[in-house]
Structure 1
Amino acid sequence: MNQSIQKNRTLGFILVILGASFWGIGGTVAQKLFQQENIEVGWLVSSRLLLAGLLLIMAYKITHRKKSIFVMWRTKQNAFRQILFSLLGMLAVQYTYMMSIAIGNSAVATLLQYLAPLFIMAYYLITKHSQLTRQDGIAVTLTLIGTFLLLTNGSLSTLSVPAMAVFWGILSGLSAAFYTLYAVSLLQQFHSLLVVGWSMLIGGIVMSLFHQPWQIDMANWALSTIAYFLFIVIFGTMLAFWFYIASLHYLSPKETSLLGSLEPLTAVMTSVFWLKIPFGSFQFIGTMLILCMILYLTVFQKKRS
């Protein structure tokens, strides 16, 4: 394999692994915040999107002083594409996932969100962009079985949730698939900081019409509560989504979505070590399957190249 290509793929792996890990840990921290301060889902989504979006756009301006932050708004076509990505991608994947957790539980929500690789492969098959290979089948199988075992410890009884939780969870998976696929064309024209930053800002503005960020009393928040909220904004939202999207510069949407299965792994690990939730034997098997999927994708790509 060409050395520069290998370095780019390695960077892609690092980015998606960090992004998925931050998103998973951020989910656990958000759960802690819900329990500690009884914060409403809509408020957290609108607040985290607005703040993270502003920070990303500011970061782009600081690192690209001579370039405009409004470059994608110069034509109606690009503006429409950015708005579509912001609403059906960024906002949709945030809100549907949180709604599935609020109505059901995080295990079902995460499991259904990780139907995204299947939706992406189905899209490729339908549009004839690619054929389903044996390697794709192996990677998807390892991901789905590993995620199921990791989140349920092998017991179907933990998946007993209202139908609306399943509905929001499936929408979350579809949104994640759209988010991953649609971002590719935007990244071919615009910097990932701008694409993610504007999508978060637009999504946050739309959510603010229904859940105003300023309508909350923070006077009684403890320092730990403030720290949790800042972690969710910076690591669990801003860096998580930026790194995930940036990885699409170096990896295919199929690979990125599969490697995103590290999100439930880090969420469970955080819950085990921080919240002291027991870790079962089937969860250990699920962890090994996800790690095997990552190793398989890495080794197979090297051999194929």
Structure 2
Amino acid sequence: KLTGMSSKTGKWFLYALVGSSFWGFSGTASSALFIRYHFSAILLSSLRMLIGGIFIIIIFRAGIPRKDVKNFLVFTFAGLMPVQISYIETIKYTNAATATLIQYLFLPIIFIYEIFKKIIRVDRYIIDI
């Protein structure tokens, strides 16, 4: 138990630590798979999502209610898959660090674009820090 943390907080801290470690390892492992075994980005993304989904279902016993299966599949193929493929493609052509940086800069870039195209309006209260 970490000093000053409740057991519940410590558990979630551990989850974050393990998850971020796996995230970092997966980028490096992806890079190695591209160089050594010439994996395609689509194959690697599909394997990552399939194995990750199986782990989530097994570990957390996450059942999807029957009424939500359609939405879950749409989100998987229209939302998650393109993001994963673009991340893996970036690793393929650059490296894991660059791919992660680009991924995290995506939202601020979209935010700035939407401001300049006047898609959204920013009040001064949002910017006030």
Q: TM-score, normalised by structure 2?
A: 0.63
Secondary structure of 1:114 counterpart: helix
Deviation of 1:49 after TM superposition, in Å, equals 2.1
What is the CA distance between 1:108 and its match in structure 2?
3.0
Deviations 1:21-42 (A, max 9, x none): 2111111122122222222222
Q: What are the Cα deviations for residues 183-220 of structure 1, in whole angstroms up to 9, with x where unaligned?
A: xxxxxxxxxxxxxxxxxxxxxxxxxxxxxxxxxxxxxx
Q: Which residue of 1 aligns with 2:117?
A: none
Change (3 A) 1:40 1:120: closer
CA displacement 1:42-67 (0-9 Å, x = unmatched): 22222232233234323344xx8xxx
| TM-fit CA distance, 1:95 | 0.8
What corresponds to 1:97 in structure 2?
Answer: 87
Structure 1 residue 131 and structure 2 residue 126: aligned? yes
- What is the aligned partner in structure 2 of residue 79 from structure 1? 69
Contact kept? 1:41, 1:99, Cα under 8 Å: yes
8 A Cα contact 2:87 2:99, kept in partner: yes
The question of whether the paired residues in 2 share the 8 Å contact of 1:72 and 1:79 is answered with yes
Match of 2:100 among 95, 103, 110: 110
User: Structure 1 residue 116: deviation in Å?
Assistant: 4.8
| Alpha-carbon separation, structure 2, partners of 1:18 and 1:113 | 20
> Using CA pairs below 8 Å that are at least 6 residues apart, which structure has the higher relative contact order?
1
Task: Write the distance in 1 (CA, Å) between the matches of 2:78 and 2:8.
Answer: 29
Query: What is the aligned length?
Result: 118
Point out where structure 1 has 5 or more consecutive residues left out of the alignment.
135-305
Instruction: Tell me the TM-score normalised to structure 1 length.
Output: 0.31
Runs of 5+ in structure 2 lacking a partner? Answer: 115-119
Residue 126 and residue 8 in structure 1: after superposition, are their counterparts in 2 closer, same or farther (change >3 A)? farther
Deviation at 1:103, TM superposition (A): 3.4
Question: How is 1:238-277 mapped onto 2 (pairs within 5 angstroms)?
Answer: none
From the superposition, tell whether residues 132 and 6 of structure 1 become closer, same or farther in structure 2 (CA, over 3 Å): farther
**Alpha-carbon separation, structure 2, partners of 1:126 and 1:39:** 43
Q: Distance in 1 between matches of 2:6 and 2:121?
A: 30
Matches of 2:108 and 2:12, distance apart in 1: 21
| Contact 2:33/2:39 (<8 A) preserved | yes
Change (3 A) 1:19 1:42: same
Q: 1:51 and 1:127, CA in 2 relative to 1: closer, same or farther beyond 3 A? A: farther
